[in-house]
A and B are shown apart, each in its own frame.
Chain A
Amino acid sequence: MKLIKIDQQSWNTGIEKAKSAYRVFGPVKEKNDHEFKLLEPNEMPDVHCQNTRLSPKSIIYPQSQIMFTYSLDESKEDCRIMKEVENVKSPMAIIGVRPCDALAFPIVRKNFDTPEYQDTYWIKAYEATTFVGLACNNACGTCFCTSAGTGPFGEEGLDVLIIADGDDLYAKPITPKGESFIQTAGWTMKAEASIESRIEELKTSAESSVTSSVPTDQLKNKTTLELYDAPFWEQEAFSCINCGTCTYVCPTCWCFDVQDETHGKSGIRMRNWDSCMFPLFTNHASGHNPRNAKHERLRQRFMHKLKYYVDKYDNGIQCVGCGRCIRLCPVNIDIRKICDKMNNFDADSCVCEATSS
């Protein structure tokens, strides 16, 4: 492990240097929360931020994104012909991505970058980006990353991992992209060999601070229909107001809508984040809706993350354990509890399950 030590001074100068080669994003304080923002000159990412309110997914996959432009001016030759918007991405670097949020990108990539179709918008932004992670020394009460395929020092999806030990920072390059970021930042000081055991200590202590453990090992063994027909969905959805907050704050939710917007004689075709919590998401033009009831929509969200994705990709669950949906749900729906119910569900004894609760 080639660790680089970064003191406070070279951290600041390094980030400034990086800004000349990358559009640098990082967590900054916004009112009561932190958000990822494009950093201004001399603006520093806040490495003491526990985590941002929203994940950094919008940097790669904006909530609203123009795909095409068109003209409805009959005097123009290209009238009613869709034109691609320029889609050249200059290098970006996101500083301070927590390992949970970092893992979300390779998960989401499975949706946008497939053997048959490549989503040019997502892929170009993703490929232009260097992910500079920040290890967590202390988990929140809602974190369960260690049950979701990563951990407070997880590296998947990252190009560099930054580890903070008091005021000292250490950078661990993970990919060639990460090495070139470190080079651009001018961080060259080799860390003393003894730091490795210190970092192991920090890692162990961070992992033990994740108190939620959510077993997912049985999800694959259940059949889709037995989980789909499980008796607990209506009860779990009872308090749900279908606000969609869980889907908007989720780093792995990727669904979108496509809309045309015309101003005068010109317009744009854009895509906007959409949510399986909304009835319109699946409503047919005929009025028929395959997921008309709210419990059917809640079931879709959890079945997608904890069963359909699991079966389709054999890559664990479509959840990174960041806990945002738990913290921000206005009615306290808890994915850990639902995952537990699904993982432990026994169709043969479902009568007891239904009557006991």
Chain B
Amino acid sequence: MQNPYLPYPVRIDEIITETEDKSLKTFKFVFLNPDDEKKFAYESGQFGELSIPGLGEIPIGIASSPMEKGFIKFTVFKTGKVTAYLHAMKEGDIMGVRGPLGHPFPWKTLEGKNIVIIGGGFAFTTLRSSIISILDPANRSKFKDIHVIYGARSPGMLLYKDEVTAWAEREDINMNITVDGTDDPAWKYLTGFVPTITEQKAPPGNDDTYAIVCGPPIMIKFTQPVLDNLGYSHDNILMSLENRMKCGIGICGRCNIGKKFVCKDGPVFTLSQLNQMPKEY
């Protein structure tokens, strides 16, 4: 019997400060035991529990893609006890990771489909993972048109800036980068809130088009009617939820929404599923 609570030991290989306010950092981890990397076989949309002895564990979406080998990446917003400590840690420090946990985005279902990825703020992490996976030469032909609408408060708050701006130059992905507002005359992308940009840029909904929506509650609230107007069926709208978690494996009991656990049965749900569930998230 394998102990599902035992973290794999990892070393912090690199720390990247993502945003100008320094509230978001990306941590690149390397497994101390190479075999553990094989055990941590994941797909985009899953999460892991970052484990710091003496502090505790935090559930964080996996920002790296399974197509990237030799490491895993997590982008962490500094907000509580564990994240604050993590932000103060140094490259070379040892900690733990458990996972992969939860269900990924339904990649088999998404094959042969158009995908519209709508992300806001720091919820873009598993979306980055997804885009890296989709754009990989081994995968790109499996999907039809890819649209991305990614919004941040300001240019300085964009995650993975080099990558997202490089994607904007590509032919095989339709990138729409937007900020709520900026006085930077050099800003050459869009300005406007995510729901507005979605209205302008997202393709109309049909059976062959899926929307993946990750963002703060306010963004989700105003994006949903836009997708309704565009004709997206609620079965074709995928969302990734967050709730307070401890075990991450559906046992400790706190992250449930009705009979579903966000950790084990989610974090990805269709809007149809969420419509049948209490709004406890």
Binding site for B on A (CB under 8 A): 67-68, 70, 72, 79-82, 84, 111-112, 114, 116-120, 123-124, 223-225, 228, 254-260, 262, 267, 269, 271, 274, 276, 281-286, 290-291, 296, 300, 303-304, 307-309, 311-312
Please determine whether B258 and A82 come into contact, CB atoms closer than 8 angstroms: no
Tell me which residues across on chain A come within 8 A of B279, comparing CB atoms. Answer: 290
Contact A276 B253 (CB under 8 A): yes
Chain B residues with Cβ below 8 Å from A259 are 56
Which residues of chain B are near A225, meaning CB under 8 Å? 276-278
For A67, what are the chain B residues with a Cβ–Cβ distance below 8 Å?
A: 5
Contact of A82 among B4, B51, B244, B264 (CB under 8 A): B51
Q: Which of B6, B94, B277, B281 contacts A80 (CB 8 A)?
A: B94
Determine whether the beta carbon of B54 is less than 8 Å from that of A258: no
Q: Which of B55-90 contact A (CB under 8 A)?
A: 55-58, 79-80, 83
Chain B positions 231-281 with a Cβ under 8 Å from a chain A Cβ: 242-244, 246-247, 249-259, 264, 276-281
User: Given that A259-B56, A285-B79, A285-B83 are known contacts, is A116 also in contact with B249, CB under 8 Å in the complex?
Assistant: yes
Which residues of the partner chain B approach A304 to less than 8 Å between Cβ atoms? Answer: 256
B95 within 8 A of A: yes
Would you list 19 pairs from A and B whose C-beta atoms are within 8 A, ordered by A residue?
A70-B53, A70-B54, A80-B52, A80-B93, A81-B32, A82-B9, A82-B96, A117-B249, A123-B1, A224-B278, A225-B277, A228-B278, A256-B251, A257-B246, A258-B246, A258-B252, A260-B55, A307-B259, A308-B256
For residue B3, CB closer than 8 A to chain A, the reply is yes
Complex CA distance for A281 and B253, rounded to whole angstroms: 9
Which of the residues A257, A267, A290 comes within 8 Å of B280, measured between beta carbons? A290
Complexed CA–CA distance, A112 and B3 (Å): 12
Known: A68-B6, A286-B79. 7 other contacts (CB 8 A): A81-B96, A114-B250, A255-B254, A282-B254, A284-B244, A308-B256, A311-B259
Q: Which residues of B contact A70 (CB under 8 A)?
A: 53-54
Known A-B contacts A224-B258, A286-B79, A311-B259; A120 and B1 likewise in contact (beta carbons under 8 Å) = yes
B2 at the interface (CB under 8 A from A): yes
Say which size band chain B's interface belongs to.
Answer: 35 or more
Query: Does B244 lie within 8 Å of A283, measured CB to CB?
Result: yes
Is B54 touching A260 in the complex (CB atoms < 8 A)? yes
Supposing A224-B278, A225-B276, A256-B246 touch, asked if A80 and B95 sit within 8 A by C-beta, the answer is yes
A258 touches B56 (CB 8 A): yes
| Residue in chain A with minimal CB distance to B55 | A260
Query: B: which residues have CB within 8 A of A?
Result: 1-7, 9, 32, 51-58, 79-80, 83, 93-96, 242-244, 246-247, 249-259, 264, 276-281
Contact between B252 and A81 (Cβ–Cβ < 8 Å)? no
Is B56 a contact of A260 with CB atoms below 8 Å?
Answer: yes
Residues of B within 8 A of A290 (CB): 243, 257, 279-281
Cβ–Cβ contact B2 & A224, under 8 A? no
Chain A, Cβ-Cβ closest to B83? A285
In the bound assembly, the distance between CA atoms of A260 and B279 in angstroms comes to: 31
Contacts of B244 in A (CB 8 A): 281-285
Expressed in whole angstroms, the Cα–Cα distance for A339 and B158 within the complex equals: 50
Contact pick for B253, options A117, A256, A284, A312, CB 8 Å: A256
- The residue of chain B having its C-beta at the shortest distance from the C-beta of A256 within the complex is B252
* Min CB gap B27→A, angstroms: 15
Q: Which of B56, B83, B252 contacts A255 (CB 8 A)?
A: B252
CB distance from A351 to the nearest CB of B (A): 21
Q: A119, A123, A224: which contacts B277 (Cβ < 8 A)?
A: A224
- Chain B proximity of A324: nearest CB distance (Å): 19
Contact A118 B280, beta carbon cutoff 8 Å: no
A123 to B246, CA, bound (A): 19
CA distance A254 to B253 in the complex (A): 8
Which residues does chain B contribute within 8 Å of A267, judged by CB atoms? 53-54
Residue contact B53 to A260, C-beta cutoff 8 Å: yes
Q: Is the CB of A282 within 8 A of B243?
A: yes
Q: Is the CB of B4 within 8 A of A284?
A: no
Closest to B32 in A: A81
B4, A117: Cβ atoms closer than 8 Å: yes
- Max chain A C-beta neighbours (<10 A), residue from B1, B83, B252, B277: B252
Return A32 CB to nearest CB of chain B, in Å: 31
Contact A119 B57 (CB under 8 A): no
Give complex CA distance A274, B253 in Å: 9
A311 and B265 CA atoms in complex are apart in Å by 15
Give the nearest-CB partner of B217 in chain A.
Answer: A288
Is the pair A258, B2 in contact by a Cβ cutoff of 8 Å?
A: no
B274 nearest CB across to chain A (Å): 11
Do B254 and A276 touch (CB < 8 A)?
A: yes
